[in-house]
Amino acid sequence: MRHRFSSITEDLLQLHEAMRKRWPGLLRVAIALYDEQKEMLHTFIKSSPDTGLLNHYSIKLQEVPSLVKLAESGEARLIQDLEILKDHHTVHSDAIAEHFKSSYTEPFYMAEKLLGFIFYDADEVGYFDDDLLEQIQNYSRLIESLIVSEMLPVKALIGMIDTAKELTNLRDSETGKHLIRVARFTEIIALQIADKYDLSDEIIEYMYHYAPLHDIGKIAIPDNILLKPGPLEDAEYDIMKTHVDEGLKMVDRMVNHFSFQQIHHLQMLKDIIGDHHEHYDGAGYPKGKKGNEISLVGRITAVADVFDALTSDRIYRKAMPVDEVIAYMKAQKGKQFDSECVDALLVNLDTVLEIIDKFKE
């Protein structure tokens, strides 16, 4: 029998529903992922009666010593009375102590590296008896397997593309740090507009992972065009524009050859690749889409990519001063760019500038 691929959030909701049939007081199951590069812990997926609780929340792992201890030891933590968290004074501890009475937390890993934590929260003090704890440990192994199986194909796809770039000696201005910055800017924009567009933490997580793959089709562009130190002639520019379709073909080949059809949000990756050179007014390429015909993630990535490109040195020009880039982005609102996406980036300018400074070439 064939089954459709459900999202990890749908899987978690089903698991939680099954658990609550026996333990109705188990009100919340949540997963937070750890980003080693940023040293940040951030919300990923959750099943909770309060859908607004700790949405889009992140914190430096080192600011939560109790979780650092769990990560280092690999052991679980049981708190039968959450009153003790009220002295910790973090957003997370205050929210949990306000809404729940007891909790159980486990760290989980991939290839011996911390991947994140699973949190179980109940509405009664002392709710976690031996029977529930035994079952939770079984559910935790299942949840860990779901998340690892979700992440491995994504990481494998990204690794394959990175390897292809190395093997083809791809050498253009899109350095590793450029890709990091584009991913960060994409995340900033997505978080800023998340409530309006109902973007879950799971969706934003995939945007963050997929944004650096926006220009993978450049592997297919000849070096004499890709690395040309001056302006491209019309015929050369036409060839350069084919990198969008080449990128889409590359994804399709990898999906088919390596049976990656189960990768969730694969259409998101295709939208990033296919739409990030479209212009809001319809003057972009490859299809001349306009306005909301362009996917939201494509509109977001376009702003992130161009802002970073203009503030970075490229083989054919020097970086523009930040104030000039800001003026350009504002002038292109409603033309090249979605106005909301530009505003979402610029309202977080201090964070954007910190990222530029941290990931300098």
Instruction: Report residue 2's pLDDT band, with 50, 70 and 90 as the boundaries.
Output: very low
Domain 168-358 classification at class level: mainly alpha
pLDDT, one tens digit per residue, over 224-269 is 898 888 889 999 999 999 999 999 998 888 888 776 666 668 899 9
Instruction: Report residue 323's pLDDT band, with 50, 70 and 90 as the boundaries.
Output: very high
Question: Using CA atoms, how far apart are residues 78 and 128, in angstroms rounded to an integer?
Answer: 8
Domain 8-150 classification at class level: alpha beta
pTM for this one? 0.85
Question: Using CA atoms, how far apart are residues 273 and 216, in angstroms rounded to an integer?
Answer: 8
pLDDT, one tens digit per residue, over 41-92 is 999 888 877 767 778 888 999 998 889 999 999 999 999 999 887 776 677 7
Residue whose C-alpha is closest to residue 271's, from 243, 304, 305, 247: 247
> What pLDDT does residue 261 have?
63
CA distances to 102, 111, 187, 345 from 105, rounded to whole Å, are 10, 20, 27, 35
pLDDT, one tens digit per residue, over 263-320 is 668 899 999 999 999 999 999 999 999 999 999 999 999 999 999 999 988 777 888 9
Question: Using CA atoms, how far apart are residues 160 and 219, in angstroms rounded to an integer?
Answer: 13
> What pLDDT does residue 331 have?
98
Task: Give me the residue spans of the domains in the chain.
Answer: 8-150, 168-358
Report whether the peptide linkage leading into residue 286 is cis, meaning its omega lies within 30 degrees of zero.
yes
pLDDT of 108 higher than 90: yes
